[in-house]
């Protein structure tokens, strides 16, 4: 909406040339050929989007198609003056396109550690003892984890977008826009840091359970404060004698008519050919994708299900965990059974999606050290019998002080167990992934995770047999076919 508003205002401000281009006698066969080429391009992009081959590349390619066509139309209709006037509003659309993971993930990881360290330093200044372990803050009442959602990455992206938007809103000069952009980035860091400090203080004063009560509220307040602060900075940077330009609908109507009159009939036919080609290309791509999906054996529902038992307690998943993982369905169950003992179990399922590959990063030996746990030995592969069906799990051991923990964790993609011989960089696309993992595309990408965690101490370490018994008492396994 901002982009459209800015484009309309720029159109009324531009001293457009509005030079009517000469009408070229273009043969109809050339327009048809151009339409076929455009249909092939639309088909390729839509099919790649449906099958999700290299999604970031496809998304950016799809974004640049309308941008390129719009810039071309501006140049043909109004010359270089109109093109320069509409350049920023049109390119502003790119702020809505996701960042590439190999660029975003390192920034997010760095922000998580930086926010945790800065929050700990401020807590020390308040006289509160705290320790930092990776992206976790250890307090007297427990551990507060700085997840990706709380790293400040979203605040950074929102700050950049709104900083650019306010620079255009007040028509700031280039150097002042750059200054505003840096101020917006600094304000994004500051507001997110204040939020994490407030949540840490809430955890220290009222316990970890109280953090959930103000989690969303602090997030809303942080974003509101960020937007207001950027607006104030942009207004302060505006030159006093520089009058704001207002959008006049009458002048906009006159300019639109002038631009329309400057577009020759040949270009109108070409635009119509592109529209028809786009509709046909997208429709055919969706039909082909649908036929491939029906022919392919793709998992669409979880294979694991929970048994009904009075010793089980359904627990609501923390909002941070849900927002981090974005599963299709998720279950968190606590069991208090006199025979196998106490434990906690988790079950997550994701329908086919290209983004499911990033779930593999949330592996116990990768995530647990980030919240203060130390890995004890390498993970072990273990096979568990579920009603005569052999399923593969992985055994992880952790400790934190005198407390010990054991976790049985299994992950499947389209019903096939995923081995642990992969690295996070391979999942994040920074390096090539083994072809056996089948991480690319959407088909056969349904992902399911089942886990069981039990605790103990140095005198009574957690036992594998007890974790297996808890896991089998909670879940039943019914694969398709």
| 412-455 per-position pLDDT tens digit | 988 888 888 887 777 766 677 776 666 766 667 889 999 999 99
d(CA 152, CA 167): 22
Beta carbons of 188 and 156 less than 8 angstroms apart:
yes
Q: H helices of 101-238, where?
A: 101-125, 153-169, 174-206, 211-237
d(CA 221, CA 162): 16
Beta carbons of 383 and 321 less than 8 angstroms apart:
no
Average pLDDT along the chain? 80
Question: Has residue 96 got a pLDDT over 70?
Answer: yes
Tens-place pLDDT, residues 117-137:
898 899 889 888 888 876 778
Tens-place pLDDT, residues 23-55:
455 677 777 787 888 888 888 888 877 766 667
The pLDDT score that the predictor gives to residue 183 is 95
Q: Which two tokens stand for residue 2?
A: 């901002």
Q: What DSSP state is assigned to residue 334?
A: E
Tens-place pLDDT, residues 297-306:
677 889 999 9
Question: Has residue 316 got a pLDDT over 90?
Answer: no
- Read off the pLDDT band of 19 (50, 70, 90): very low
- Percent composition of the chain: helix, strand, coil (DSSP 3-state, to 5): 55, 15, 25
Q: What Å distances lie between residue 126 and 94, 187, 198, CA to CA? A: 42, 22, 12
The pLDDT score that the predictor gives to residue 241 is 42
CA geometry: angle 141, 142, 147, nearest 5 deg: 135
What pTM value is reported for the model?
0.61
Q: What is the mean pLDDT of residues 287-313?
A: 80
What DSSP line would sit under 69-97, residue for residue? HHHHHHHHHHHHHHHHHHHHHHHGGGGGS
What interhelical angle do 55-91 and 2-13 show, nearest 10?
40
Question: Has residue 218 got a pLDDT over 90?
Answer: no
The pLDDT score that the predictor gives to residue 449 is 94
Percent of the chain with pLDDT over 90: 21
Q: Of 197 and 248, which is predicted with more confidence?
A: 197
The DSSP element (H or E) to which 12 belongs, if any, is helix 2-13
Of the given ranges (152-161, 182-191, 216-225, 437-446), which has the lowest mean pLDDT?
437-446
The pLDDT score that the predictor gives to residue 383 is 92
Q: What is the mean pLDDT of residues 72-80?
A: 73
Question: Has residue 86 got a pLDDT over 70?
Answer: yes
d(CA 91, CA 242): 25
Where are the extended beta strands (E) located within 6-64? none
Q: What is the mean pLDDT of residues 220-232?
A: 92
The pLDDT score that the predictor gives to residue 252 is 52
In a 10 Å sphere around its CB, with 0-12 CB exposed, 13-18 middle and 19+ buried, how is residue 242 labelled?
exposed
Beta carbons of 215 and 319 less than 8 angstroms apart:
yes
The DSSP element (H or E) to which 390 belongs, if any, is strand 389-400
SS3 assignment, position 364: helix
The pLDDT score that the predictor gives to residue 138 is 81
The pLDDT score that the predictor gives to residue 17 is 47
Beta carbons of 76 and 22 less than 8 angstroms apart:
no
The pLDDT score that the predictor gives to residue 386 is 84
SS3 assignment, position 354: helix
Beta carbons of 328 and 351 less than 8 angstroms apart:
yes
Percent of the chain with pLDDT over 70: 81
Q: What is the mean pLDDT of residues 260-288?
A: 74
């Amino acid at each position: 909406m901002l982009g459209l508003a800015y484009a309309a205002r720029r159109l009324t401000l531009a001293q457009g040339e509005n030079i009517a281009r000469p009408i070229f006698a273009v043969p109809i066969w050339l327009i048809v050929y151009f339409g076929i080429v455009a249909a092939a391009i639309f088909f390729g992009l839509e099919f790649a989007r449906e099958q999700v081959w290299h999604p970031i590349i496809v998304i950016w390619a799809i974004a640049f198609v309308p941008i390129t066509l719009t810039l071309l139309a501006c140049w043909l209709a109004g010359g270089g003056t109109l093109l320069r006037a509409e350049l920023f509003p049109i390119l502003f659309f790119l702020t809505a396109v996701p960042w590439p993971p190999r660029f975003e993930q390192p920034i997010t990881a760095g922000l998580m550690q930086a926010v945790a360290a800065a929050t700990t330093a401020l807590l020390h200044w308040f006289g509160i003892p705290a320790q930092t372990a990776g992206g976790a803050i250890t307090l007297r009442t427990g551990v507060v984890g700085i997840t990706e959602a709380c790293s400040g990455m979203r605040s950074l992206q929102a700050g950049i977008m709104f900083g650019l938007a306010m620079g255009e809103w007040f028509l700031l000069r280039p150097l002042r826009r750059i200054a505003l952009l840096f101020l917006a980035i600094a304000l994004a860091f500051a507001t997110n840091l204040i939020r994490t400090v407030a949540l840490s203080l809430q955890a220290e004063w009222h316990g970890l359970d109280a953090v959930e009560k103000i989690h969303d509220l602090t997030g809303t307040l942080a974003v509101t404060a960020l937007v207001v602060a950027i607006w104030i900075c942009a207004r302060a940077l505006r030159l006093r004698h520089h009058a704001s330009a207002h959008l006049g609908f009458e002048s906009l109507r006159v300019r639109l008519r002038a631009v329309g009159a400057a577009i020759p009939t040949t270009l109108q036919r070409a635009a119509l050919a592109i529209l028809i080609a786009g509709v046909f290309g997208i429709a055919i791509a969706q039909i082909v994708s649908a036929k491939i999906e029906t022919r392919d054996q793709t998992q669409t529902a979880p294979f694991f299900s929970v048994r009904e038992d009075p010793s089980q307690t359904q627990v609501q998943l923390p909002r941070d965990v849900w927002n981090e993982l974005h599963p299709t369905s998720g279950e968190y169950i606590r069991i208090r059974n006199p025979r196998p003992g106490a434990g906690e179990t988790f079950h997550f399922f994701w329908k086919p999606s290209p983004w499911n590959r990033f779930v593999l990063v949330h592996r116990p030996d990768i995530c647990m050290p980030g919240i203060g746990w130390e890995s004890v030995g390498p993970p072990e592969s273990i096979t568990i019998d579920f009603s005569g069906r052999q399923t593969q799990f992985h055994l992880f051991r952790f400790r934190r002080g005198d407390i010990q923990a054991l976790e049985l964790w299994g992950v499947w993609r389209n019903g096939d167990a995923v081995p642990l011989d992969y690295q996070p960089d391979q999942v994040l696309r920074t390096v090539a992934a083994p072809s056996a993992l089948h991480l690319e595309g959407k088909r056969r990408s349904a992902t399911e995770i089942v886990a069981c965690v039990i605790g103990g101490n140095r005198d009574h370490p957690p036992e594998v047999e007890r974790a297996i018994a808890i896991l089998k008492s909670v879940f039943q396994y019914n694969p398709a076919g």
